[in-house]
Structure 1
Amino acid sequence: YCTCAQQHKNVLFFAIDDLRPELGAYGHDYIKSPHIDDLASKSMLFERAYCQVAVCSPSRTSLLTGRRADSNHVWRIADDDYCTSAQQHKNVLFFAIDDLRPELGAYGHDFIKSPHIDDLASKSILFERAYCQVAVCSPSRTSLLTGRRADSNHVWRIAGDEYWRTVPDATNATTIPQYFKENGYLTIGMGKIFHPGAPNGHPPFDHNQHDENVMGYTIRTDKYRFTEWYTFDRDTSKPDFDKKWGTELYDHSTPTVSFNDENINIADKPEMESTVTELRKALQDGWRAALPPTI
């Protein structure tokens, strides 16, 4: 009978893809969410709840099971497979960065602020005695990817338009991506990991995506970090400032906390228009324009 007290309250659960806490309930006024804010005011608001995986199906699986992806082994979007089926392979994302020295927090240096890299290092194996094999980018990457020193594979210089496998002693080398391919992975190479000249579908990768023509350029002040993305000419290594793809502006003047200004792109805010214009001019003028006239 309808006047009988129910033993349990009804529960309505919403799981929303790509929902960030940029709502009024979390102190943000540029997203108008009065009904959600009203609900939050009468409820328990989780202020330090984080997405476990940046992919929808694994993220929801973690939320519904209370288990992280490294426990339930659901790593990717479940296409034809049921999301509770554990994947056989973890995804591997490998970054090779030119001119990166170990001047990071994970290596005991406090003048470089690298909290995310430091956090990753704390959960991983940190190589403290791993050294660059060659002080030139292409031979160094070749050594890293083949596990062979330059005096073994004889790749000594920047490859230019020459594919490094044309060097006789490197022709039959097995690379890290090849080992992954042999164990059932789909491998994709982006950027210049093997330098120009690598044909699409060559043994290391199923696909090569090294024809990107957009590059980001950054300038940093005591208060702001400003980045703009422009069409980039690989032949001249120069940007086309008339072809802009995107603008980013972040305020890093306050200590980093969740969802403060350092995490939010404020480039499109009307009050930041003059700041964006000033930083854009400084960025496009280049470092030489900032030198004293006597230099």
Structure 2
Amino acid sequence: MIPVSFDYVAPTTVDDAVRELAAAGEDGKVLAGGQSLLPVLRMRLAAPAKVIDLGRVPELHGVREDGNDVVIGAMTTHYEVQRDPLVREHLSLIALATETVADPQVRHRGTFGGSLCHADPAGDLLAPALALDAVMTVAGPSGRRSIPAAEFFVDYFTTAMAEDELLVEVRMPKFTGWHAHYEKFSVSAQAWSVVSVGVAVRVSGVTIAEARIGLTNMAATPVRAMAVEEALVGQPAFAHNITAAAAHAAENTSPTTDGDADGEFRSHLARVLTGRAVTAAIG
């Protein structure tokens, strides 16, 4: 199907992009990698009067080091993120989760920021970003502001950004030396997660000193498995301790029932995959 006609602009600065978005109002749509927007345009599920393409804004691209943080530009592609040496060294959970996103073609076009802004609870990058205390920098007509991941994801396909704001970059503290693993269950290759678990742990000797665990598709937004984290910290990294901690994975979640799985099965998967992910992370 052919989309309805619209005006197309390709600003070269963040300020220009913000002005274009504000001027378009509710009739404007931001184009990042296009993996979410283009299909709905073709099916005429969206009919914007103006599309603002962010691909020519240099500030939105790339990965950089800023003191104790790693900063990922919103328009950095999945392919670039998963291969970036800073990400692989300091944010290995992000690199591992990004490797599971769709297929190589999508990873070459889709963007890190676009995936977060789409806010699909089955998206692979939301839970790892939440677990690693990501902070989103957004820009709007009133300037820039920072939104922690715990406040950024509001509901299904909904973020805390205003309609006239756009994501500029994502900042995460370094987790250098931490062990990480991303365990994903899907019904077919390259499909959305039925449930996934992202784990980052710091081990001191044989003891788990710190743990960060994020759950994908266990609620309308990504979820931190806080009960599992608390049960792991201070425990020797033995199988029975990991199993006991993983039993808490579904606590304070609200998994949905759909064509792929019901809520009860998702809760079962969360417990099983959490145990596997922690075990694999520790090695």
Higher CA-based Rg = 1
Higher-RCO chain (CA-CA 8 Å, sequence separation at least 6): 2
Larger fraction in strand: 2
Q: TM-score, with normalisation over the residues of structure 1?
A: 0.25
Q: TM-score, with normalisation over the residues of structure 2?
A: 0.26
Larger fraction in helix: 2
